[in-house]
Amino acid sequence: MDRKKYHRHSFFTLLHHYIDAMTVLTEKLYEKDPYLFEFTALVIGMKGDLIELDRTAFYPGGGGQDSDRGELEDLAVVDVRYLDGALVHKVPGHGFLLGMNVRGVVSKERRLDLMKGHTGEHMLFAALNRMVPDLELVKISITPEKKSFLVKGALNWNIILDAEKLVNEAIGQGIGIDDVMVDRKDPLISQSRIKLERIPGDLIRLVRIGEFDLAACAGVHVRNTTDIDMLLVEKLTSARPHGDFEVEFLVGRRAILRSLQLSSWAIQASDLIGSHPEDLLNALRNLKAEMVRDQDALRQTAKTVMAGLVPETISGVPIYRSVFQGVDRKTLSEEATRKVSDGRSICIFADEGEKRSLVIAIGNQLDIDANQLLQKTLLPHGGRGGGNKNFATGGTNISVKGESLLESVLIEIRSLLEK
Ligand SMILES: [Zn+2]
C-alpha cells in the first residue's frame, strides 16, 4: 500500500502526513455497526473527486455485494471502493478541504436490501450445501437489481424448494448473527465454510448465523435472520461455462410480493386448465405431450392430402394448391418442393393456423419468379417473407383468408402463363 503516492497531488500533504504518521487508517464503522447510517468524519485524503475519511459507515463493497451510496455533506456519493489500499468515496464536485469535518449519510433502504440479500445468500447456499455436499460456490452478485450466485454441482427445483423451506424456517426463528475474529489455527475454522488459501493475513473474520451457518466473510450482514423477512428463489438457470447453475433469489418485501403474484398465476393457470394447483405441473406436461401428438397427426393427415392433390392445368403447367389448418411451415415447404421436383410444376400452399403462411414453389424449368409472386401477394396485406426464383415463403395477418391468398397468386400466374 502506497499512501504517499495516492496523496501525491494533495494540497494539504502536511496535514495528511501528520495524520499518516499517527498511522490512521479508515475506521470501518460498518463492521462494528451495520445499522449505522449517519456519522461524522474527518477528511484525511483527497484526489480529485475521491475522498478518504478517518472513519466511515460506507461499505466499499466486497464478497459480491455492491458498495454503498448516500451523501457526504448533502453531496452524492456515487461510488465507494478501495484504491491503492485506501478506502475512497467518490463525491463529484465537492469543495472539501483536508482536515474538514463532514457528515455522512448512507442510503438506508439500499444498504438494508443489500444486507438482507447478502445474509440470504449465506443462508441459501448453506441450506443447498447440506443437500448437495459437493456444491461449490463460484461467484456471488448482490446488487439492488439482482441477487444471485453461481454454483458448480447438481441442482434442481426439488432441492431448491427444500432449501427454501429450511431458510425461511430459520428466518422465522429469529436467529442472531454475529462475527468473530479467529486465528488461522482456531478449531472454529474447520467447522466453517472457508477457502483459506484465498484469505491473506492471520486473523480471519467468521460470520456466524447461530447453528445454521459459519462462513468466512468480511461483508456486512443483518443482525437477526427475521430482518430478511423472506427468501424466494426466482430463477435457476444454466451458467455454463463458469458454473453449472445460477440461482437468482429475492429477499424482503419483494420476495413476499413476488411469491403472492406467482401463486396467483399458478392458481389461475390451474383453473384455466381444470386442475388442482398441486396437479398443475403434471397436467401441463400431459397437455404438452398431447399437443405434440396432435401436431404429428395433423402433419400426417396433411401429407396424405398433399399426396392426393390433383393439379389444375393452366397453359400446360400443372398447378397444385391447397389450404391447410395448423400445419407447420417446414412440412409445407418440404412437400411443396417435392411437388415441383419435376421442374415443370407449380405448388402453392397456404395455412390458416395461428399464423397465416404462404408457400410458393416453382419448377426450375419455368420462367416465373417465386419470390416476386410472394412479395406481390403479401404486400397489400402487410405481410412479409422472402426466398428465391424457385421457392419463397412468408406470412401475413390472420384476418386474410388462405383461399384468397391462393387466388391472388393464381391470377398472377395465369397472366404470366397466358402472355
Ligand atoms: Zn457475508
Q: What is the mean pLDDT of each run of 10 residues along the chain (419 residues)?
A: 39 39 70 95 95 96 94 96 91 95 97 97 97 94 97 96 98 96 88 79 90 92 97 96 95 97 97 94 95 92 92 94 92 95 96 91 95 94 93 91 93 90
Position 184 scores a pLDDT of 87
Cα(407) to ligand 1 centroid in Å equals 70
Tally the residues of the chain.
Answer: 419
Q: Which residues have C-beta within 8 Å of that of residue 162, sequence separation ≥ 6?
A: 127, 131
Cα(125) to ligand 1 centroid in Å equals 11
Cα(163) to ligand 1 centroid in Å equals 18
Alpha-carbon span 390 to 364, nearest angstrom: 6
Cα(218) to ligand 1 centroid in Å equals 6
* Helical segments of 180-233, H only: 187-191
Cα(34) to ligand 1 centroid in Å equals 12
Cα(61) to ligand 1 centroid in Å equals 11
The x, y and z cell numbers of residue 93, run together, are 464536485
Cα(122) to ligand 1 centroid in Å equals 6
Cα(141) to ligand 1 centroid in Å equals 12
Position 10 scores a pLDDT of 39
Cα(150) to ligand 1 centroid in Å equals 15
Cα(193) to ligand 1 centroid in Å equals 11
Smallest CA-to-CA distance from 3 within 20, 26, 22 is with 20
Cα(194) to ligand 1 centroid in Å equals 11
Position 346 scores a pLDDT of 97
Alpha-carbon span 39 to 12, nearest angstrom: 23
Position 87 scores a pLDDT of 93
Cα(121) to ligand 1 centroid in Å equals 8
Ion ligand 1 — residues with CB under 5 Å?
A: 217, 219
Cα(126) to ligand 1 centroid in Å equals 12
Read off the pLDDT of residues 114-141 as tens digits, 9 standing for 90 and up: 999 999 999 999 999 999 999 999 999 9
Cα(63) to ligand 1 centroid in Å equals 7
Q: Are 38 and 92 in contact (CB under 8 A)?
A: no
| Residue 202 φ then ψ, to 5° | -90, -30
Cα(25) to ligand 1 centroid in Å equals 22
Cα(142) to ligand 1 centroid in Å equals 10
Position 285 scores a pLDDT of 95
Cα(209) to ligand 1 centroid in Å equals 10
Report the C-alpha dihedral over residues 34, 37, 39, 41, rounded to 10 degrees: 70
Cα(164) to ligand 1 centroid in Å equals 18
224 residue type, one letter:
N
Cα(132) to ligand 1 centroid in Å equals 20
The x, y and z cell numbers of residue 238, run together, are 444454466
Report the C-alpha dihedral over residues 389, 395, 400, 405, rounded to 10 degrees: 20
Read off the pLDDT of residues 249-289 as tens digits, 9 standing for 90 and up: 999 999 999 999 999 999 999 999 999 999 999 999 999 99
Cα(261) to ligand 1 centroid in Å equals 29
Cα(5) to ligand 1 centroid in Å equals 32
Smallest CA-to-CA distance from 143 within 50, 250, 58, 222 is with 250
Position 94 scores a pLDDT of 94
Cα(65) to ligand 1 centroid in Å equals 9
Cα(402) to ligand 1 centroid in Å equals 62
Position 21 scores a pLDDT of 35
